[in-house]
Amino acid sequence: ALYHEQLINARFTKSFYKHILNIPVEVEDIQSIDPVYYESLKWILEHDIADMDLGLTFSVDKNVFGLTQVVDLVPNGRDVTVTEENKMRYVQLTTQLRMTSAIGAQIRAFLDGFHEFVSSTVVRMFDVAELELLISGTETIDVDEWEEHAAYSGGFTKESDVVRWFWDVLRNDWSQEQRAGLLQFATGCSRVPLGGFGELSGAGSKMPFTISRVGDDPARLPSTSACFNMLKMPEFESREQLKEKLEIAVTAGKEGFSFS
Protein backbone atom coordinates (compact mmCIF):
# COMPACT_ATOMS: atom_id res chain seq x y z
CA ALA A 1 0.00 0.00 0.00
CA LEU A 2 2.81 2.43 0.86
CA TYR A 3 4.75 1.52 -2.27
CA HIS A 4 1.76 2.08 -4.56
CA GLU A 5 0.39 5.01 -2.53
CA GLN A 6 -2.87 3.26 -1.72
CA LEU A 7 -4.68 3.54 1.62
CA ILE A 8 -5.77 0.59 3.72
CA ASN A 9 -9.26 0.58 5.22
CA ALA A 10 -8.02 -0.59 8.60
CA ARG A 11 -6.95 0.80 11.93
CA PHE A 12 -3.83 -0.72 13.39
CA THR A 13 -2.81 -0.32 17.01
CA LYS A 14 -0.24 2.28 17.99
CA SER A 15 2.08 -0.50 19.10
CA PHE A 16 1.98 -2.00 15.59
CA TYR A 17 3.32 1.22 14.10
CA LYS A 18 5.95 1.37 16.85
CA HIS A 19 7.20 -2.06 15.83
CA ILE A 20 7.54 -0.88 12.24
CA LEU A 21 9.49 2.17 13.41
CA ASN A 22 11.54 0.17 15.95
CA ILE A 23 10.23 2.30 18.83
CA PRO A 24 9.87 0.63 22.25
CA VAL A 25 6.29 0.05 23.37
CA GLU A 26 4.96 1.54 26.61
CA VAL A 27 2.35 0.43 29.10
CA GLU A 28 -0.14 2.93 27.62
CA ASP A 29 -0.04 0.96 24.36
CA ILE A 30 -1.76 -1.99 26.06
CA GLN A 31 -4.92 0.11 26.44
CA SER A 32 -5.83 -0.26 22.77
CA ILE A 33 -5.80 -4.08 22.88
CA ASP A 34 -6.84 -4.87 26.46
CA PRO A 35 -8.32 -1.92 28.40
CA VAL A 36 -9.07 -4.00 31.51
CA TYR A 37 -5.52 -5.32 31.78
CA TYR A 38 -4.18 -1.81 31.19
CA GLU A 39 -6.28 -0.43 34.06
CA SER A 40 -4.89 -3.14 36.35
CA LEU A 41 -1.29 -2.19 35.55
CA LYS A 42 -2.13 1.48 35.84
CA TRP A 43 -3.64 0.90 39.30
CA ILE A 44 -0.46 -0.81 40.45
CA LEU A 45 1.65 2.13 39.29
CA GLU A 46 -0.60 4.77 40.86
CA HIS A 47 -1.00 3.17 44.31
CA ASP A 48 1.38 2.32 47.10
CA ILE A 49 1.34 -1.47 47.33
CA ALA A 50 3.89 -1.76 50.15
CA ASP A 51 1.34 -3.08 52.64
CA MET A 52 -0.77 -5.01 50.16
CA ASP A 53 -0.66 -8.70 49.40
CA LEU A 54 -1.56 -8.74 45.71
CA GLY A 55 -0.19 -12.22 45.17
CA LEU A 56 1.86 -11.02 42.17
CA THR A 57 5.22 -12.42 41.17
CA PHE A 58 7.54 -11.73 38.24
CA SER A 59 5.68 -14.24 36.11
CA VAL A 60 2.53 -14.33 34.00
CA ASP A 61 0.14 -17.05 32.92
CA LYS A 62 0.08 -17.73 29.20
CA ASN A 63 -2.56 -19.74 27.37
CA VAL A 64 -1.01 -22.10 24.81
CA PHE A 65 -3.56 -24.13 22.86
CA GLY A 66 -5.85 -24.32 25.86
CA LEU A 67 -3.12 -25.09 28.36
CA THR A 68 -1.94 -22.55 30.94
CA GLN A 69 1.81 -22.08 31.13
CA VAL A 70 3.71 -19.90 33.60
CA VAL A 71 6.24 -17.60 31.93
CA ASP A 72 8.96 -16.06 34.09
CA LEU A 73 9.71 -12.40 33.42
CA VAL A 74 13.12 -12.77 35.12
CA PRO A 75 15.06 -15.90 36.09
CA ASN A 76 12.93 -17.80 38.63
CA GLY A 77 10.43 -14.96 38.40
CA ARG A 78 7.62 -17.04 39.86
CA ASP A 79 9.51 -16.87 43.17
CA VAL A 80 10.12 -13.09 43.04
CA THR A 81 7.34 -11.05 44.70
CA VAL A 82 6.21 -7.75 43.16
CA THR A 83 6.81 -4.95 45.69
CA GLU A 84 6.52 -1.18 45.82
CA GLU A 85 10.22 -0.96 45.00
CA ASN A 86 10.20 -3.20 41.92
CA LYS A 87 6.68 -2.69 40.56
CA MET A 88 7.86 -0.39 37.76
CA ARG A 89 10.18 -3.10 36.49
CA TYR A 90 7.34 -5.61 36.70
CA VAL A 91 5.05 -3.41 34.59
CA GLN A 92 7.81 -2.77 32.04
CA LEU A 93 8.57 -6.49 31.64
CA THR A 94 4.88 -7.40 31.48
CA THR A 95 4.34 -4.82 28.77
CA GLN A 96 7.36 -6.06 26.83
CA LEU A 97 6.13 -9.64 26.97
CA ARG A 98 2.55 -8.83 26.07
CA MET A 99 3.29 -6.39 23.26
CA THR A 100 6.54 -7.68 21.78
CA SER A 101 8.05 -10.96 22.98
CA ALA A 102 4.82 -12.97 22.75
CA ILE A 103 4.41 -12.04 19.07
CA GLY A 104 8.11 -11.68 18.21
CA ALA A 105 8.11 -14.30 15.44
CA GLN A 106 5.10 -12.73 13.72
CA ILE A 107 6.59 -9.23 13.98
CA ARG A 108 9.89 -10.36 12.48
CA ALA A 109 8.13 -12.16 9.62
CA PHE A 110 6.04 -9.09 8.86
CA LEU A 111 9.00 -6.72 8.96
CA ASP A 112 11.09 -8.98 6.73
CA GLY A 113 8.43 -8.75 4.04
CA PHE A 114 7.69 -5.07 4.67
CA HIS A 115 11.34 -4.06 4.30
CA GLU A 116 11.57 -5.78 0.91
CA PHE A 117 9.46 -2.90 -0.39
CA VAL A 118 10.15 -0.05 2.05
CA SER A 119 13.55 0.32 3.69
CA SER A 120 13.75 0.88 7.43
CA THR A 121 15.79 4.03 6.80
CA VAL A 122 12.97 5.64 4.83
CA VAL A 123 10.24 4.60 7.27
CA ARG A 124 12.06 5.98 10.28
CA MET A 125 11.75 9.47 8.83
CA PHE A 126 8.18 9.41 10.16
CA ASP A 127 6.68 9.32 13.62
CA VAL A 128 3.78 7.06 14.63
CA ALA A 129 1.04 9.55 13.70
CA GLU A 130 2.58 10.29 10.31
CA LEU A 131 3.02 6.61 9.45
CA GLU A 132 -0.60 5.94 10.39
CA LEU A 133 -1.70 8.70 8.00
CA LEU A 134 0.46 7.26 5.22
CA ILE A 135 -0.97 3.77 5.62
CA SER A 136 -4.58 4.44 6.59
CA GLY A 137 -5.24 8.14 5.92
CA THR A 138 -7.52 10.22 8.10
CA GLU A 139 -11.14 9.60 9.08
CA THR A 140 -12.01 13.30 9.22
CA ILE A 141 -13.58 14.48 5.97
CA ASP A 142 -13.58 18.21 5.26
CA VAL A 143 -16.31 18.82 2.66
CA ASP A 144 -14.97 22.27 1.79
CA GLU A 145 -11.54 20.82 1.01
CA TRP A 146 -13.12 17.93 -0.88
CA GLU A 147 -15.08 20.35 -3.05
CA GLU A 148 -12.03 22.55 -3.60
CA HIS A 149 -10.14 19.68 -5.24
CA ALA A 150 -13.05 18.17 -7.19
CA ALA A 151 -13.31 18.05 -10.97
CA TYR A 152 -16.31 17.75 -13.29
CA SER A 153 -16.97 16.12 -16.67
CA GLY A 154 -19.69 15.01 -19.07
CA GLY A 155 -21.32 18.43 -19.08
CA PHE A 156 -21.36 19.08 -15.34
CA THR A 157 -19.65 22.20 -13.99
CA LYS A 158 -19.22 23.67 -10.55
CA GLU A 159 -22.36 25.73 -11.16
CA SER A 160 -24.60 22.87 -12.29
CA ASP A 161 -27.69 22.39 -10.11
CA VAL A 162 -26.89 18.70 -9.49
CA VAL A 163 -23.36 19.59 -8.41
CA ARG A 164 -24.54 22.34 -6.07
CA TRP A 165 -27.18 20.04 -4.56
CA PHE A 166 -24.57 17.30 -4.13
CA TRP A 167 -22.20 19.43 -2.05
CA ASP A 168 -25.07 20.93 -0.08
CA VAL A 169 -26.32 17.45 0.91
CA LEU A 170 -22.83 16.35 1.97
CA ARG A 171 -22.21 19.53 3.91
CA ASN A 172 -25.55 19.98 5.68
CA ASP A 173 -27.35 16.62 5.74
CA TRP A 174 -24.79 13.87 5.93
CA SER A 175 -22.74 12.65 8.89
CA GLN A 176 -19.02 11.86 8.80
CA GLU A 177 -19.94 8.18 8.55
CA GLN A 178 -22.11 8.79 5.49
CA ARG A 179 -19.41 10.91 3.87
CA ALA A 180 -16.90 8.13 4.47
CA GLY A 181 -19.33 5.68 2.86
CA LEU A 182 -19.58 7.89 -0.21
CA LEU A 183 -15.81 8.22 -0.41
CA GLN A 184 -15.54 4.42 -0.21
CA PHE A 185 -18.20 4.08 -2.90
CA ALA A 186 -16.50 6.53 -5.27
CA THR A 187 -12.80 5.85 -4.70
CA GLY A 188 -12.51 2.42 -3.08
CA CYS A 189 -11.27 3.84 0.23
CA SER A 190 -13.15 5.61 3.01
CA ARG A 191 -10.15 7.61 4.26
CA VAL A 192 -8.50 10.79 3.08
CA PRO A 193 -4.82 10.45 2.11
CA LEU A 194 -1.98 12.30 3.78
CA GLY A 195 -1.97 15.75 2.20
CA GLY A 196 -5.75 15.83 1.72
CA PHE A 197 -7.99 15.40 -1.30
CA GLY A 198 -5.39 16.98 -3.56
CA GLU A 199 -3.35 13.78 -3.10
CA LEU A 200 -6.05 11.32 -4.20
CA SER A 201 -4.65 8.72 -6.58
CA GLY A 202 -6.13 6.22 -9.00
CA ALA A 203 -4.94 4.01 -11.85
CA GLY A 204 -1.33 4.55 -10.84
CA SER A 205 -1.22 8.34 -10.65
CA LYS A 206 -2.78 11.34 -8.96
CA MET A 207 -6.40 11.62 -9.94
CA PRO A 208 -9.00 14.04 -8.54
CA PHE A 209 -12.44 13.09 -7.34
CA THR A 210 -14.65 13.72 -10.38
CA ILE A 211 -18.41 14.11 -10.74
CA SER A 212 -19.47 13.10 -14.23
CA ARG A 213 -22.84 13.50 -15.96
CA VAL A 214 -24.17 10.27 -17.49
CA GLY A 215 -27.53 10.32 -19.22
CA ASP A 216 -30.75 12.19 -18.51
CA ASP A 217 -32.81 9.51 -16.78
CA PRO A 218 -33.42 10.84 -13.23
CA ALA A 219 -34.60 7.39 -12.12
CA ARG A 220 -31.08 6.05 -12.55
CA LEU A 221 -28.96 5.50 -9.46
CA PRO A 222 -25.51 7.07 -9.18
CA SER A 223 -22.65 4.73 -10.08
CA THR A 224 -18.88 4.91 -9.94
CA SER A 225 -15.62 4.12 -11.66
CA ALA A 226 -13.65 3.71 -8.47
CA CYS A 227 -10.29 3.18 -10.20
CA PHE A 228 -10.67 6.70 -11.57
CA ASN A 229 -12.27 8.28 -8.46
CA MET A 230 -15.33 9.08 -10.53
CA LEU A 231 -18.92 9.44 -9.33
CA LYS A 232 -21.39 9.24 -12.22
CA MET A 233 -24.85 10.78 -11.89
CA PRO A 234 -27.72 11.66 -14.24
CA GLU A 235 -29.43 15.03 -14.38
CA PHE A 236 -31.58 14.75 -11.26
CA GLU A 237 -34.68 16.94 -11.08
CA SER A 238 -34.40 18.10 -7.46
CA ARG A 239 -32.16 18.14 -4.40
CA GLU A 240 -34.46 15.67 -2.64
CA GLN A 241 -34.27 13.24 -5.53
CA LEU A 242 -30.48 13.45 -5.63
CA LYS A 243 -30.25 12.83 -1.90
CA GLU A 244 -32.58 9.82 -2.04
CA LYS A 245 -30.83 8.19 -5.01
CA LEU A 246 -27.38 8.88 -3.59
CA GLU A 247 -28.27 7.36 -0.22
CA ILE A 248 -29.62 4.21 -1.89
CA ALA A 249 -26.56 3.84 -4.13
CA VAL A 250 -24.01 4.43 -1.37
CA THR A 251 -25.76 2.16 1.15
CA ALA A 252 -26.13 -0.68 -1.34
CA GLY A 253 -22.89 -0.27 -3.21
CA LYS A 254 -20.15 1.03 -0.92
CA GLU A 255 -18.98 -2.51 -0.06
CA GLY A 256 -19.07 -3.71 -3.64
CA PHE A 257 -15.56 -2.56 -4.51
CA SER A 258 -12.45 -1.80 -2.55
CA PHE A 259 -9.23 -0.82 -4.28
CA SER A 260 -7.27 -1.23 -1.06
Q: So which residues are the catalytic ones?
A: 227
Residue 57: which of 102, 97, 94 has the closest Cα? 94
115-154: burial string, b at 16+ Cβ within 10 Å, e else: eeeeeeeebeebebeebbbbbbbeeebebeebbeebebee
Alpha-carbon span 90 to 33, nearest angstrom:
19
